[in-house]
Amino acid sequence: MDSWTERAIDAIAQNTIAGAAELAEQGADVLLRCARVDETATLADFNAQVLRISIALIRAQPAMAPLVNLANTALWGLDACRTHADARTRLAALVRDFKRRLRMHETTIAEAVLPLIPDRATVLTHSRSATVRAALLLAQRAGRQLTVVCTEGRPNYEGRVMATELAAQNIPVRLVIDALAASRAATADLVLVGTDHLNRDGLANKAGTFGVVMTAKSVGVPVYALCSSSKFLPPGYARPKQHHRPPEQVWEQAPASVQVENYYFDYTPLNSIAGIVTERGALPPAVIEGWLAALQLHPALAASQAGA
Protein backbone atom coordinates (compact mmCIF):
# COMPACT_ATOMS: atom_id res chain seq x y z
CA MET A 1 0.00 0.00 0.00
CA ASP A 2 1.61 3.29 -1.08
CA SER A 3 1.79 6.50 0.95
CA TRP A 4 -1.00 8.22 -1.05
CA THR A 5 -3.37 5.36 -0.26
CA GLU A 6 -2.40 5.37 3.40
CA ARG A 7 -3.03 9.13 3.65
CA ALA A 8 -6.38 8.82 1.88
CA ILE A 9 -7.53 6.04 4.18
CA ASP A 10 -6.35 7.99 7.23
CA ALA A 11 -8.35 11.01 6.05
CA ILE A 12 -11.45 8.81 5.82
CA ALA A 13 -10.77 7.51 9.33
CA GLN A 14 -10.48 11.05 10.71
CA ASN A 15 -13.65 12.34 9.02
CA THR A 16 -16.35 12.67 11.68
CA ILE A 17 -18.74 14.86 9.68
CA ALA A 18 -19.38 13.06 6.37
CA GLY A 19 -22.20 10.55 6.07
CA ALA A 20 -21.88 6.91 5.06
CA ALA A 21 -22.51 7.47 1.35
CA GLU A 22 -19.99 10.32 1.18
CA LEU A 23 -17.34 8.21 2.88
CA ALA A 24 -18.10 5.36 0.48
CA GLU A 25 -17.46 7.67 -2.48
CA GLN A 26 -14.08 8.56 -1.00
CA GLY A 27 -13.34 4.88 -0.47
CA ALA A 28 -14.34 4.14 -4.04
CA ASP A 29 -11.83 6.71 -5.26
CA VAL A 30 -9.10 4.86 -3.33
CA LEU A 31 -9.97 1.59 -5.09
CA LEU A 32 -10.17 3.36 -8.45
CA ARG A 33 -6.62 4.57 -7.97
CA CYS A 34 -5.61 1.02 -7.07
CA ALA A 35 -6.86 -0.06 -10.51
CA ARG A 36 -5.08 2.81 -12.32
CA VAL A 37 -1.80 2.91 -10.40
CA ASP A 38 -0.95 -0.76 -10.10
CA GLU A 39 2.58 -1.95 -9.42
CA THR A 40 1.75 -5.56 -8.60
CA ALA A 41 3.31 -8.30 -10.72
CA THR A 42 0.60 -10.96 -10.84
CA LEU A 43 -3.16 -11.41 -10.65
CA ALA A 44 -2.79 -12.98 -7.21
CA ASP A 45 -0.73 -10.01 -6.00
CA PHE A 46 -3.30 -7.58 -7.36
CA ASN A 47 -6.20 -9.38 -5.68
CA ALA A 48 -4.28 -9.45 -2.40
CA GLN A 49 -3.64 -5.71 -2.70
CA VAL A 50 -7.32 -5.00 -3.28
CA LEU A 51 -8.21 -7.10 -0.25
CA ARG A 52 -5.69 -5.27 1.96
CA ILE A 53 -6.99 -1.87 0.88
CA SER A 54 -10.60 -2.98 1.26
CA ILE A 55 -10.03 -4.19 4.81
CA ALA A 56 -8.16 -0.98 5.67
CA LEU A 57 -11.09 1.10 4.35
CA ILE A 58 -13.59 -0.86 6.42
CA ARG A 59 -11.48 -0.58 9.56
CA ALA A 60 -11.11 3.16 9.00
CA GLN A 61 -14.88 3.60 9.49
CA PRO A 62 -16.25 0.24 10.72
CA ALA A 63 -19.78 1.53 11.29
CA MET A 64 -20.21 2.64 7.67
CA ALA A 65 -21.79 -0.25 5.77
CA PRO A 66 -21.28 1.20 2.25
CA LEU A 67 -17.55 0.60 2.69
CA VAL A 68 -18.30 -3.04 3.47
CA ASN A 69 -20.50 -3.33 0.41
CA LEU A 70 -17.95 -1.56 -1.78
CA ALA A 71 -15.38 -4.16 -0.73
CA ASN A 72 -17.86 -7.01 -1.09
CA THR A 73 -18.76 -5.90 -4.62
CA ALA A 74 -15.11 -5.57 -5.65
CA LEU A 75 -14.03 -8.93 -4.25
CA TRP A 76 -16.89 -10.92 -5.78
CA GLY A 77 -16.24 -9.25 -9.13
CA LEU A 78 -12.53 -10.04 -9.09
CA ASP A 79 -13.21 -13.73 -8.44
CA ALA A 80 -14.33 -14.09 -12.05
CA CYS A 81 -11.15 -12.56 -13.54
CA ARG A 82 -8.51 -14.80 -15.10
CA THR A 83 -5.85 -12.26 -16.07
CA HIS A 84 -4.10 -9.38 -14.34
CA ALA A 85 -5.24 -6.88 -16.98
CA ASP A 86 -8.83 -8.11 -16.81
CA ALA A 87 -8.82 -7.67 -13.03
CA ARG A 88 -7.69 -4.05 -13.26
CA THR A 89 -10.33 -3.25 -15.86
CA ARG A 90 -13.00 -5.12 -13.95
CA LEU A 91 -12.21 -3.37 -10.65
CA ALA A 92 -12.43 0.08 -12.25
CA ALA A 93 -15.78 -0.77 -13.87
CA LEU A 94 -17.21 -2.19 -10.65
CA VAL A 95 -16.17 0.80 -8.58
CA ARG A 96 -17.49 3.33 -11.09
CA ASP A 97 -20.81 1.49 -11.17
CA PHE A 98 -20.90 1.46 -7.37
CA LYS A 99 -20.41 5.24 -7.29
CA ARG A 100 -23.10 5.70 -9.93
CA ARG A 101 -25.56 3.64 -7.92
CA LEU A 102 -24.80 5.61 -4.74
CA ARG A 103 -25.79 8.84 -6.48
CA MET A 104 -28.81 7.26 -8.18
CA HIS A 105 -30.07 5.82 -4.90
CA GLU A 106 -29.93 9.22 -3.23
CA THR A 107 -32.17 10.64 -5.96
CA THR A 108 -34.65 7.75 -6.02
CA ILE A 109 -34.93 7.72 -2.22
CA ALA A 110 -35.60 11.46 -2.17
CA GLU A 111 -38.38 10.93 -4.72
CA ALA A 112 -39.86 8.10 -2.63
CA VAL A 113 -39.86 10.30 0.49
CA LEU A 114 -41.70 13.18 -1.19
CA PRO A 115 -45.24 11.73 -0.80
CA LEU A 116 -44.53 11.18 2.91
CA ILE A 117 -43.84 14.87 3.58
CA PRO A 118 -47.02 16.95 4.06
CA ASP A 119 -47.15 20.63 3.23
CA ARG A 120 -46.47 23.09 6.06
CA ALA A 121 -44.79 20.30 8.00
CA THR A 122 -42.29 20.46 10.81
CA VAL A 123 -39.69 17.78 10.12
CA LEU A 124 -37.12 16.73 12.70
CA THR A 125 -33.84 15.12 11.73
CA HIS A 126 -30.99 13.99 13.95
CA SER A 127 -27.34 14.54 12.99
CA ARG A 128 -26.39 14.96 9.32
CA SER A 129 -27.43 12.76 6.40
CA ALA A 130 -26.83 13.60 2.75
CA THR A 131 -29.86 11.49 1.80
CA VAL A 132 -32.15 13.29 4.25
CA ARG A 133 -30.80 16.61 2.96
CA ALA A 134 -31.58 15.57 -0.63
CA ALA A 135 -35.13 14.58 0.35
CA LEU A 136 -35.78 17.90 2.10
CA LEU A 137 -34.37 19.93 -0.79
CA LEU A 138 -36.55 18.02 -3.26
CA ALA A 139 -39.62 18.66 -1.08
CA GLN A 140 -38.82 22.37 -1.09
CA ARG A 141 -38.47 22.37 -4.90
CA ALA A 142 -41.81 20.58 -5.13
CA GLY A 143 -43.46 23.46 -3.27
CA ARG A 144 -43.65 22.06 0.26
CA GLN A 145 -43.38 24.72 2.94
CA LEU A 146 -41.21 23.18 5.61
CA THR A 147 -39.62 23.96 8.92
CA VAL A 148 -36.75 21.63 9.75
CA VAL A 149 -35.60 20.98 13.30
CA CYS A 150 -31.94 19.92 13.42
CA THR A 151 -30.20 18.62 16.50
CA GLU A 152 -26.66 19.66 17.34
CA GLY A 153 -25.16 16.19 17.01
CA ARG A 154 -22.63 16.46 19.81
CA PRO A 155 -19.74 16.02 20.27
CA ASN A 156 -18.80 16.73 16.63
CA TYR A 157 -21.81 18.98 15.89
CA GLU A 158 -22.76 17.46 12.53
CA GLY A 159 -26.20 18.99 13.04
CA ARG A 160 -24.74 22.47 12.70
CA VAL A 161 -23.40 21.49 9.29
CA MET A 162 -26.81 20.11 8.29
CA ALA A 163 -28.55 23.27 9.52
CA THR A 164 -26.11 25.46 7.60
CA GLU A 165 -26.61 23.48 4.37
CA LEU A 166 -30.42 23.68 4.60
CA ALA A 167 -30.46 27.35 5.56
CA ALA A 168 -28.24 28.12 2.57
CA GLN A 169 -31.11 26.81 0.40
CA ASN A 170 -33.62 29.06 2.19
CA ILE A 171 -35.27 26.31 4.23
CA PRO A 172 -36.31 27.61 7.68
CA VAL A 173 -34.28 25.74 10.29
CA ARG A 174 -34.30 25.53 14.07
CA LEU A 175 -31.22 24.09 15.76
CA VAL A 176 -31.88 22.50 19.14
CA ILE A 177 -29.57 21.02 21.72
CA ASP A 178 -29.49 17.21 21.70
CA ALA A 179 -31.27 17.04 25.07
CA LEU A 180 -34.35 18.57 23.40
CA ALA A 181 -34.39 16.08 20.52
CA ALA A 182 -36.98 13.71 22.00
CA SER A 183 -39.40 16.41 23.12
CA ARG A 184 -39.17 18.18 19.75
CA ALA A 185 -39.74 14.88 17.95
CA ALA A 186 -42.97 14.48 19.92
CA THR A 187 -44.30 17.77 18.50
CA ALA A 188 -43.05 17.34 14.93
CA ASP A 189 -45.18 16.16 12.02
CA LEU A 190 -42.51 13.78 10.76
CA VAL A 191 -39.08 12.44 11.72
CA LEU A 192 -36.54 11.55 9.03
CA VAL A 193 -33.24 9.93 9.98
CA GLY A 194 -30.31 8.61 8.02
CA THR A 195 -28.62 5.27 8.49
CA ASP A 196 -24.98 4.23 8.73
CA HIS A 197 -25.66 0.51 8.66
CA LEU A 198 -28.59 -1.83 8.99
CA ASN A 199 -29.03 -5.52 9.71
CA ARG A 200 -31.77 -7.71 11.17
CA ASP A 201 -30.99 -6.45 14.67
CA GLY A 202 -31.71 -2.83 13.81
CA LEU A 203 -30.25 0.28 12.29
CA ALA A 204 -27.27 2.29 13.45
CA ASN A 205 -27.35 6.06 13.42
CA LYS A 206 -26.07 8.94 15.51
CA ALA A 207 -26.36 8.33 19.26
CA GLY A 208 -29.73 9.63 20.40
CA THR A 209 -31.65 8.24 17.43
CA PHE A 210 -33.14 5.46 19.57
CA GLY A 211 -34.64 7.95 22.02
CA VAL A 212 -35.99 10.16 19.24
CA VAL A 213 -37.61 7.20 17.48
CA MET A 214 -39.20 5.72 20.59
CA THR A 215 -40.59 9.08 21.70
CA ALA A 216 -42.04 9.82 18.28
CA LYS A 217 -43.58 6.35 18.07
CA SER A 218 -45.19 6.70 21.50
CA VAL A 219 -47.16 9.76 20.37
CA GLY A 220 -47.91 8.64 16.82
CA VAL A 221 -45.39 10.78 14.93
CA PRO A 222 -44.22 8.74 11.91
CA VAL A 223 -40.52 7.98 11.66
CA TYR A 224 -38.84 6.95 8.42
CA ALA A 225 -35.25 5.82 8.06
CA LEU A 226 -33.65 6.69 4.72
CA CYS A 227 -31.40 3.81 3.79
CA SER A 228 -30.15 2.55 0.44
CA SER A 229 -29.25 -1.11 0.09
CA SER A 230 -25.58 -0.07 0.11
CA LYS A 231 -26.04 0.30 3.88
CA PHE A 232 -27.29 -3.25 4.44
CA LEU A 233 -24.83 -5.52 6.22
CA PRO A 234 -24.80 -8.98 4.61
CA PRO A 235 -25.69 -11.94 6.85
CA GLY A 236 -22.56 -13.30 8.48
CA TYR A 237 -20.99 -9.88 8.83
CA ALA A 238 -20.85 -9.11 12.53
CA ARG A 239 -22.31 -5.82 13.66
CA PRO A 240 -19.40 -3.39 14.17
CA LYS A 241 -18.28 -2.91 17.73
CA GLN A 242 -18.81 0.47 19.30
CA HIS A 243 -15.52 2.23 19.92
CA HIS A 244 -15.20 4.45 22.96
CA ARG A 245 -14.35 7.92 21.71
CA PRO A 246 -12.03 10.40 23.45
CA PRO A 247 -13.65 11.60 26.70
CA GLU A 248 -12.04 15.03 26.16
CA GLN A 249 -14.59 15.62 23.38
CA VAL A 250 -17.28 15.68 26.07
CA TRP A 251 -15.42 17.01 29.11
CA GLU A 252 -11.92 18.37 29.08
CA GLN A 253 -10.00 17.62 32.26
CA ALA A 254 -12.80 15.61 33.86
CA PRO A 255 -12.10 14.45 37.43
CA ALA A 256 -10.21 11.18 37.48
CA SER A 257 -13.06 9.52 39.38
CA VAL A 258 -15.58 10.34 36.62
CA GLN A 259 -15.94 7.89 33.73
CA VAL A 260 -17.06 9.72 30.59
CA GLU A 261 -18.94 7.58 28.05
CA ASN A 262 -18.62 8.91 24.53
CA TYR A 263 -20.08 6.79 21.73
CA TYR A 264 -21.12 8.04 18.31
CA PHE A 265 -23.87 5.55 17.42
CA ASP A 266 -26.84 3.73 18.87
CA TYR A 267 -29.14 1.03 17.51
CA THR A 268 -32.87 1.24 16.85
CA PRO A 269 -35.04 -1.87 16.31
CA LEU A 270 -36.49 -2.00 12.80
CA ASN A 271 -40.01 -2.70 14.08
CA SER A 272 -40.09 0.67 15.87
CA ILE A 273 -39.93 2.54 12.54
CA ALA A 274 -42.91 3.25 10.27
CA GLY A 275 -40.92 2.41 7.18
CA ILE A 276 -37.47 2.20 5.69
CA VAL A 277 -37.16 4.21 2.49
CA THR A 278 -34.85 2.52 0.00
CA GLU A 279 -34.22 2.81 -3.73
CA ARG A 280 -37.21 0.45 -4.06
CA GLY A 281 -39.51 2.76 -2.12
CA ALA A 282 -40.81 2.84 1.46
CA LEU A 283 -40.80 -0.72 2.77
CA PRO A 284 -41.88 -2.37 6.04
CA PRO A 285 -39.24 -4.08 8.18
CA ALA A 286 -40.39 -7.58 7.16
CA VAL A 287 -39.56 -6.89 3.51
CA ILE A 288 -36.17 -5.47 4.48
CA GLU A 289 -35.39 -8.65 6.44
CA GLY A 290 -36.14 -10.75 3.35
CA TRP A 291 -33.88 -8.52 1.27
CA LEU A 292 -31.08 -8.89 3.82
CA ALA A 293 -31.36 -12.67 3.76
CA ALA A 294 -30.58 -12.73 0.02
CA LEU A 295 -27.22 -10.96 0.39
CA GLN A 296 -23.95 -12.89 0.26
CA LEU A 297 -20.77 -11.99 2.12
CA HIS A 298 -17.46 -12.70 0.37
CA PRO A 299 -15.44 -15.35 2.28
CA ALA A 300 -12.38 -13.08 2.46
CA LEU A 301 -14.37 -10.44 4.37
CA ALA A 302 -15.79 -13.07 6.69
CA ALA A 303 -12.25 -14.31 7.35
CA SER A 304 -11.00 -10.75 7.97
CA GLN A 305 -13.60 -10.30 10.72
CA ALA A 306 -12.68 -13.59 12.30
CA GLY A 307 -9.03 -12.54 12.39
CA ALA A 308 -9.58 -8.97 13.52
Task: Give 70-106 pLDDT, tens digit per residue.
Answer: 999 999 999 999 999 999 999 999 999 999 998 999 9
**Residues 145, 129 share a domain:** yes
**Distances 85 to 32, 36, 46, 76, 99 between C-alpha atoms, Å:** 14, 11, 10, 17, 22
**Residues 273, 144 share a domain:** yes
Angle at 261 between CA 259 and CA 262, to 5 degrees: 140
**Residues 176, 64 share a domain:** no
Strand, helix or coil for residue 192: strand
| CATH classification of the domain holding 199 | 3.40.50.10470
Containing domain of residue 94, as a range?
Answer: 3-105+296-306
Asked if 194 and 81 count as a contact pair (C-beta separation under 8 A), the reply is no
Q: Which of 2, 29, 38, 196 is catalytic?
A: 196
* Domains of the chain: total: 2
| CATH classification of the domain holding 34 | 1.20.120.420
Q: Confirm whether 2 is a catalytic residue.
A: no
DSSP conformation class of 252: T
**Residues 82, 116 share a domain:** no
**pLDDT value of position 63:** 82
**Distance between alpha carbon 139 and the CA centroid of its chain, in Å?**
22
pLDDT band per the 50, 70, 90 thresholds, residue 308? low
**Residues 139, 64 share a domain:** no
> pLDDT (tens digit, 9 = 90+) per residue, 35-61?
998 889 999 999 999 999 999 999 999
**Residues 205, 156 share a domain:** yes
Residue 32: partners with Cβ closer than 8 Å, 6 or more residues away:
92, 95, 96
